[in-house]
Structure 1
Amino acid sequence: MILYNLSQKTILTNNLKEAKSLPDKLLGLHKKTNPRSLLFKTRFGIHTFFLAKSIDVLVLNKKNKVSIAKTIQPNRIFIYNPCYSIVIELPAGTIRKSKIQKGDKLIIKKHTNKKH
Structure 2
Amino acid sequence: MITLSARETKNIQEKVVGLIGKKEPENLLIKTHFGIHTFGLKFPIDVLILDNKNEVVSIKKSLKPYRIFLWNPIYEKVIELPSGTIKNKSIAMHDTIDIKLT
TM-score band by shorter chain is 0.7 to 0.9
Percentage of pairs with the same residue: 47
Residue-by-residue CA offset, 1:25-66 (whole Å, 9 max, x unaligned): 11100154xx71110110000000111111000000111100
Larger RCO of the pair (alpha carbons < 8 Å, separation 6+): 2
2:74 maps to 1:75: no
CA distance in 2, matches of 1:75, 1:110: 27
| Bigger Cα Rg | 1
CA distance in 2, matches of 1:82, 1:31: 27
| Offset of residue 107 of structure 1 | 1.2
Q: Could you tell me which residue of structure 2 aligns to residue 25 of structure 1? A: 15
- Unmatched 5+ stretches in structure 2: none
Question: Any conservation in 2 of the 1:60–1:86 contact (CA below 8 Å)?
Answer: yes
Instruction: Provide runs of 4+ in structure 1 moved above 4 Å.
Output: none
Q: Structure 1-normalised TM-score?
A: 0.78
Paired residues for 1:1-116 under 5 Å: 6=1, 10-12=2-4, 14=5, 16-32=6-22, 36-71=26-61, 72-110=63-101
Q: Could you tell me which residue of structure 2 aligns to residue 3 of structure 1? A: none
Q: Structure 2-normalised TM-score?
A: 0.88
Question: Any conservation in 1 of the 2:33–2:75 contact (CA below 8 Å)?
Answer: yes
